[in-house]
Each structure stands twice: as C-alpha cells, then as structure tokens.
Structure 1
C-alpha cells in the first residue's frame, strides 16, 4: 500500500521497526511515509476521547492506540481512501488486475 498522501511506495525496511506509520482517514486504514509524517496537515481522523491520531481500523472498528477507546466504524467503512495524485492510473489498474488474478475474479 502506498503512502496515502504522496503515493510513495514502501520498501523493505532495514532491521528494526518500520519508519512508516499507520493512521485512519475517512474510516479507512492508511499508511504515512516518513517524509509525510513531518507534514502537520495530514488531516488524519482523531480519537474523540483523547484527540490522538494514533488510530487503527479493523473489523468494522476504529481503535485508539493511545487511550484504548474503541468505536464502531461509520457506515461505508472499508471504502478505499482517495488515490494520491502521485499514483498513476496505470499502477492502479495493474494492482487491480493482480488482485483479480489472485482472488479469481473475472471482469
């Protein structure tokens, strides 16, 4: 999954924790590259209890990794976040075709 903001693709990290961070935007899980983490206007969703942007979205729930608050994801959860402007239509089509092959979907 590329960075939701700039479209950079994640590479294999060196040993240790990945510098990429997860977040939630519009009820969808997104990745944020190290360069975009320095930007302060990412407009990630925040926790209604503590205000933290350290959220994860899974199985119809959004959980805050700071305070532990869990809430149901809003209707429409599971929708893909908007494609970053740097991500080409060709790459998106290639990924969709690969998923269709792996999942046995015929279009």
Structure 2
C-alpha cells in the first residue's frame, strides 16, 4: 500500500521498526511515509473522546490506541454512508476474507 498523501511505495527497513506510520482517514486505514509525517496537516481522523490521531481501523471499527475508545466505522457526519446492521458488517467481513484469502468473488 502506498503513502496516501504522496503515493510513495513502502520499502523494508534495514533493521528495526518501519519508519512508516499508520493512520485513519475518512474511516479507512492509510499508511504515511516518513517525509509526509513531517507535514502539519495530514487531514487524519481523530478520536472524539481524546483528540488523538493514533487510530486503527479494522473490520468496521475504528479504535483509538491512546484511550481505547472504539466506534463503528462510517459513523461520522463527514463520512460516506455505509451499510449498517449485521448485514453491512457481514458484507465487510466477507470482503475482508476474500481479500486475505485471494478470492476473486464479489459480494454486492
């Protein structure tokens, strides 16, 4: 996955942890390259409870790594509508499994 801001491709670090960071933007997980991390306004989502940008997005939920607050993805006024309820989550889980397992089926 490239940097969401500049499109640079991630390379493996020589040793140690990667200098790339993860973030959430419009309820989607994004990667941020070291150069773009220096930018002051990356327009990343922040936690409604504590204001931190240390968020992760997985299986339809956004979790704050700073305070532990969890909310459903797509429940923001500026976020496009997503299907709600068990059917919407089931579709998201099925799509995630298809991506991970390399299936080429489509879930409408």
TM-score, length basis structure 1: 0.71
In structure 2, list runs of 5 or more residues that go unmatched: 75-80, 84-98
Greater relative contact order (CA < 8 Å, ≥ 6 in sequence): 1
In structure 1, list runs of 5 or more residues that go unmatched: 78-98
1:19 CA drift (Å)? 0.4
For residues 58 and 104 of structure 2, what CA distance do their matches in structure 1 show?
24
Equivalence for 2:40: 40
For residues 57 and 47 of structure 1, what CA distance do their matches in structure 2 show?
12
For residues 20 and 82 of structure 2, what CA distance do their matches in structure 1 show?
26
Equivalence for 1:73: 73
Alignment of 1:58-97 (within 5 A): 58-74=58-74, 75-76=81-82
For residues 1-53 of structure 1, what are the alpha-carbon distances to aligned partners after superposition, in whole Å with 9 as ceiling and x for unaligned?
00000000000112111100000001100000000000011000000000000
For residues 58 and 5 of structure 1, what CA distance do their matches in structure 2 show?
21
1:104 CA drift (Å)? 3.9
- Tell me which stretches of 4 or more aligned residues in structure 1 moved more than 4 Å: none
For residues 41 and 7 of structure 1, what CA distance do their matches in structure 2 show?
17
For residues 51 and 104 of structure 1, what CA distance do their matches in structure 2 show?
38
1:70 CA drift (Å)? 0.6
Alignment of 1:12-23 (within 5 A): 12-23=12-23
